[in-house]
A and B are shown apart, each in its own frame.
Chain A
């Protein structure tokens, strides 16, 4: 028994000894390279603010890509980073979509979550939100176009911007570009320009008030913005505009999916009729895009005046549901032109560049990320949120890593990447 005890003791000592013999990987020391990350600011639109599920709300804000980047920058001398969070008691912010389940046909049931809103009484027709006061690093304003950044009255037209300003609508006169550059900063990210084409596309080209920003105007404003952002010596990173035609917003409802649904009850139907932006009624082709809201609109085949909607030339699908082939070509043309500008300005100013267009194309086509299959598929693709345009926290984390890689390669820094598996996709009930 005694020898047994001795052996047991030897074993115990040996096991304890082994527990302290962890294998070691070569030490990594993150460095800042030639950049200074002590005050990083993020300039941009909804994507920068953390907007998702058709709204700006606390959970989305907490998963913004600038917030993720700033957290990683702390390893290389980055300072504190303030996001204009909604209060916990107003966590639903502007309201946002949630997935409630699936109906008998397997269609997603998506509803608005708006119990704890951060809404103030309107000013004119503009929805206002509870004011944010305090330090600010994430200047993301949902809805802002590049076209708006020099408009003095913009603070009275966009509730998300008004919320950040000290003054109340309709008395604001500070243009966005002046506001974001008012306090000194050492590093910036700027992802602007998406809305200059998005509004046109998402409304099916049907909204006369939301037409693409002229290319020359875009180029002039982008140069102006880049000059202003860098005029005190700050370094930064800019990003191109993703292809909105590659999002679930334009690829979930297709001619094939509409036909399949209709033919389930009316097998003889072989054509779907649309009204184009040029006011022409014709049969839809695979080159025409339908917008995501058509999925749950429940209008297809419903008779008006005895003629089923969309199934007959006399009752075509309205232009607002359709981005026809010609309109899609306009979207592609403007997006390419804007991106050419962004790339050339980035090169001229020596800024790091994230090719978000290429990035979302690559991931949208289907890719395995640490064992997660991601794609541009609606809901199941994991990277696009319930609005079909903005990203999920997982999607934003992939974007954050691309920003980090681009910054590292431009400035010789080694900001560590974020662990994308810590971020979620679409929540299921």
Chain B
């Protein structure tokens, strides 16, 4: 089992998205509850959901999980009768958390590894939108050491430093015809290493309702000297760029969450997230050689967007917990800015899951999340690509935890 977990952790995770390229699959319990978890102290994933709640966890523990993500997008160009689909590609965002320190103490320690941003969109190489994108693999893995302090019996605060490991691989066709009649191609690959933070406060009120407020900072993933690989006709090779610089803001998220406990066995979590997407104004690539390829500034002009989440957990038996959730995420992408690498729209999320206590120390959690992204007919103002997108995502997940 350890080996399997380890191989999951070491596998290069390739990700899907949950709101534009934000990924909200940070804990199996929370995923099964519509992604809510800011206002409750459910498990070790509180390192992500609310560092302030970590000091309220009754046990120490370690957990590792994975959410294989199957995302299918349909596209039909306006006026055409052909529907095109992205390629089948299972993305595998992973998550792992550990919480240490004596539960009797006010100060607890935690560490989390999770993937809050990513995307894996692969279209066929000769699809209608090939000159806009053929594939995008994007991931930012956050590593977050965390301190959580119970300042009173009812109030906890916590915070963590985030070290982000970013990676991008963007490919598209270039409208320069090679001698064999095929289009040229471009591949842009780069890494980014950046810092940010995550902080939260958790309050258990006298009425029994718990409240959490968190803020995860923006991290601007900065790619310096990424590889620009242009496959072009020989006559133009010397005039092509080989390196590029780019920046991608991974926006800040502010959340407020509530926990209700109508019975000893039932927990209800409600979350509202505010994602500060308006910082994503443009996607700019700065090339080292502009003889043929000018620097590009693609307007994105995202606006801030909210997500509302509701989840319920019922400890049905001592060994079995059942969970369900519903959420609605508003798209940050305005009219005219939808692009095929993230064909975003408002989306409805439905989730369910169960937790199984195999022993006093060993727990397994399963979740299943279905995302229905609304159909959207758009003409992109930059590329002129005009058509209808419709996306559905199916995301099962599993995690194993060990508590002491």
Residues of A within 8 A of B (CB): 4, 7, 11, 14-15, 18-19, 21-25, 28, 30, 75, 99, 101-102, 367-373, 382, 401, 404-405, 416-417, 419, 421-422, 424-429
The residue on B at minimum CB distance from A372 is B175
Query: Contact between A25 and B74 (Cβ–Cβ < 8 Å)?
Result: yes
* Bound Cα distance from A99 to B394, whole angstroms: 50
- The smallest C-beta distance from B345 to any residue of chain A, in angstroms, reads 11
Given contacts A368-B382, A368-B383, A429-B234, contact A11 B79 (CB under 8 A): no
Stretch at the interface among B82-90, B145-153, B198-206, B252-260: B82-90
Specify which chain B residues have a CB less than 8 angstroms from the CB of A19 in the assembled complex: 70, 88
Give chain A nearest CB distance to B399 CB in angstroms. Answer: 11
B6 close to chain A: CB less than 8 A: no
In the bound complex, residues from chain B placing their C-beta under 8 Å from that of A370 are: 77, 128-129, 131-132, 383-385
Task: Decide yes or no whether B390 CB sits under 8 A from chain A.
Answer: yes
Provide the bound-state CA to CA distance between A428 and B80, in Å. Answer: 30
A25 and B375 contact, Cβ closer than 8 Å, known pairs A11-B396, A371-B384 = yes
Residue of B nearest to A424 (CB): B177
CB of B361 closer than 8 Å to a CB of A:
no
Q: How far is the CB of B189 from chain A (nearest CB, A)?
A: 20
Interface residue tally for chain B (C-beta within 8 Å): 54
- Residues of chain A with a CB closer than 8 A to B4's CB: 4
Q: How far is the CB of B290 from chain A (nearest CB, A)?
A: 14
B77–A428 CB distance below 8 A:
no
Whole-angstrom CA separation of A424 from B130 in the bound complex: 13
28 contacting pairs across A/B (C-beta < 8 A): A4-B1, A7-B366, A11-B396, A14-B394, A15-B68, A15-B396, A19-B88, A22-B85, A23-B73, A24-B390, A25-B76, A25-B388, A368-B382, A370-B128, A370-B131, A370-B383, A371-B130, A371-B131, A371-B172, A373-B175, A382-B175, A404-B79, A421-B130, A424-B181, A424-B183, A427-B177, A429-B179, A429-B235
Decide yes or no: A371 and B73 within 8 Å by CB, A24-B390, A417-B79, A421-B128 being known contacts: no
**Bound complex: CA of A15 vs CA of B69, how far in Å?**
9
Query: Which residues of chain A come closer than 8 Å to B235, judged between CB atoms?
Result: 99, 101-102, 428-429
Q: CA of A382 to CA of B173 in the docked complex: distance in angstroms?
A: 14
Q: What are the residues of chain B within 8 A of A25 when measuring CB–CB?
A: 74, 76, 83, 375, 388, 390
Chain A residues lying within 8 Å of B1, measured Cβ to Cβ, are: 4
Distance (whole angstroms) from the CB of B375 to the closest CB of chain A: 7
Interfacial residues of chain B within 174-192, with CB under 8 A of chain A in the complex: 175-179, 181-183
On whether the beta carbons of A416 and B392 are closer than 8 Å, the reply is: no
Give CA–CA (A346, B247) in the complex, Å: 54
Interface residue ranges of B314-362 to A (CB < 8 Å): none
**A427 contacts B384, CB within 8 Å?**
no
Q: Is B12 an interface residue (CB 8 A)?
A: no
Judged by a CB distance under 8 angstroms, whether B236 is at the interface is yes
| Residue contact A15 to B81, C-beta cutoff 8 Å | no
Chain A residues within 8 Å of B80, by CB: 416-417, 419
> Can you name 13 extra interface pairs (CB under 8 A) apart from A18-B394, A23-B391, A419-B80?
A14-B368, A25-B375, A99-B235, A368-B382, A370-B385, A382-B175, A405-B79, A421-B126, A422-B126, A425-B177, A428-B178, A428-B179, A428-B235
B91 CB, nearest partner CB in chain A, Å: 12
A18 CA to B71 CA, complexed, in Å = 9
For the complex, give the distance between the alpha carbons of A247 and B217 in Å: 53
Tell me the nearest residue of chain B to A417, going by C-beta: B79
User: How does the 8 Å CB contact mask read for B47-91 relative to A, with 1 for contact and 0 for none?
Assistant: 000000000000000000000101011101101111101001010
Distance of A193 from chain B, by nearest CB (Å):
28
Residue of A nearest to B384 (CB): A368
- With the chains together, A23 CA to B235 CA distance in Å? 43
Residues 73-130 (chain B) with a chain A CB within 8 angstroms: 73-74, 76-77, 79-83, 85, 88, 90, 126-130
B233 at interface by CB-CB < 8 Å: yes
**Closest residue of B by beta carbon distance from A101:** B235
**Judging by beta carbons under 8 Å apart, are B175 and A425 in contact?**
yes
A21, B179: Cβ atoms closer than 8 Å: no
Q: How far is the CB of A153 from chain B (nearest CB, A)?
A: 39
Chain A binding site: helix, strand, loop or mixed by DSSP?
A: mixed
Minimum CB–CB distance from B2 to chain A (whole Å) comes to 12
**Nearest B residue (CB) for A369:** B384
Q: Which residues of A contact B128 (CB under 8 A)?
A: 370, 419, 421
Interface centre among B4, B129, B182, B384 (most CB of A within 10 A): B384
Q: Which residues of A contact B130 (CB under 8 A)?
A: 371, 421
Q: Which residues of chain B are within 8 angstroms of A421 by Cβ–Cβ distance?
A: 126-131, 173
B74→A23 contact, CB < 8 A: yes
Closest approach, in angstroms, between the C-beta of A21 and any C-beta of chain B? Answer: 6
Name the B residues within 8 Å of A422 (CB-CB): 126
Is the pair B90, A15 in contact by a Cβ cutoff of 8 Å?
yes
- Chain A residue nearest to B234 (CB atoms) is A429
Does B398 reach chain A (CB closer than 8 Å)?
Answer: yes
Task: Write out the residue numbers on chain A whose beta carbons fall within 8 Å of the beta carbon of B129.
Answer: 370-371, 421
| A residues near B175, Cβ cutoff 8 Å | 371-373, 382, 425
Cα-based distance from A427 to B234 in the complex (angstroms): 11
B73 to chain A, nearest CB (A): 7
Q: List the B side residues contacting A424 at CB < 8 Å.
A: 177, 181-183
Q: Please tell me if the beta carbons of B385 and A371 are within 8 angstroms of each other in the complex.
A: yes
In the docked arrangement, what's the CA distance between A102 and B292, Å? 14
Q: Is the CB of B77 within 8 A of A419?
A: yes
- Shortest Cβ-Cβ A-B pairs, 8 listed: A371-B131, A428-B233, A18-B394, A417-B79, A371-B132, A416-B81, A371-B383, A368-B384
Complex formed: what's the CA distance from A18 to B382 in Å? 33
CB distance from A163 to the nearest CB of B (A): 26
Q: Would you call A21 and B177 a contact (CB within 8 A)?
A: no
In the bound complex, residues from chain A placing their C-beta under 8 Å from that of B385 are 370-371
Instruction: Determine the distance from Cα of A336 to Cα of B256 in the docked complex, in whole angstroms.
Output: 66
Nearest opposing residue in chain A for B233, CB measure: A428
Contact partner, B398, options A7, A18, A99, A367, Cβ 8 Å: A7
Q: Check A15–B70 contact: CB distance below 8 A.
A: yes
Report the minimum CB–CB distance from A135 to chain B (whole Å). Answer: 26
* Residue on A nearest B396 in the bound complex, by CB: A14
Question: How far is A395 from B32 in the complex, measured between Cα atoms in Å?
Answer: 52
Closest-CB distance, B87 to chain A (whole angstroms): 12
Determine the distance from Cα of A23 to Cα of B182 in the docked complex, in whole angstroms: 30
Contact of B131 among A28, A372, A417, A427 (CB under 8 A): A372
Are A427 and B132 in contact, CB atoms less than 8 angstroms apart? no
Q: How far is the CA of A401 from the CA of B78 in the complex (A)?
A: 12
CB distance from B106 to the nearest CB of A (A): 38
CB-defined contacts of B79 to chain A, threshold 8 Å: 401, 404-405, 416-417
The smallest C-beta distance from A141 to any residue of chain B, in angstroms, reads: 26
Contact of B74 among A24, A30, A416 (CB under 8 A): A24
Tell me, in angstroms, the Cα distance from A426 to B368 when the chains sit together: 50
Residues on B with beta carbons closer than 8 Å to the beta carbon of A427: 177-179, 181, 233
Find out whether the CB atom of A426 lies under 8 angstroms from the CB atom of B177.
yes
Is there an interface contact between B72 and A21, defined as CB atoms closer than 8 Å?
yes
